[in-house]
Amino acid sequence: MALAAGLFLFLRSRAAARRTRQTATRTRTGEPGKALPIGATLRVIFRSPVVPLLMLTFVAANFVATIFLTWTPTFLVEKFGFRLASAGLSGTVFIHLASAASVPLAGLLRDRLTRRFAGGRMLVQGAGLLAGAGFVVIVGQTGDQPRSCSR
């Protein structure tokens, strides 16, 4: 709630500053900015064939994440006998914590590699995909768990 309140105040002050700049620009040019019609907006967005491919990639990645997050608690209940509440927490919190830690680190690595060569971004994404697949295999092959986790 504190984060939401802080963001609300910060974004509200940023929006007020943006409106002030827009008013100053309109005063200088004498012409308000016009919004593009929806058709023109879609043409701008889809002008490059890369945009639909990126959209499809992000949709597919979110499907994978959703499937993994819904499968993991079921896996913990069926294979290790976790209670449903423990499985729900354990099956999702560690995935989110790992994501929260790895995304900024991967972003920094990606930025450094991209400065050195053009394929740096793809290299980091591919390495992350392979590492994630490896962890899924390890989870699937695990045969036991600590006693304190399920009971």
Q: Where are the domains of the chain?
A: 49-145
- Stated pTM of the model: 0.54
Q: What is the pLDDT of residue 97?
A: 92
pLDDT, one tens digit per residue, over 51-106 is 888 889 889 888 888 888 888 899 889 888 899 999 999 888 988 898 899 999 99
Measure CA 18 to chain center.
27
Q: What is the pLDDT of residue 113?
A: 92
Q: What is the pLDDT of residue 101?
A: 92
- Predicted confidence (pLDDT) at residue 148 exceeds the cutoff of 70: no
Three-state DSSP state, 63:
helix
What distance in Å separates the CA atoms of residue 67 and residue 75, rounded to the nearest whole number?
A: 12
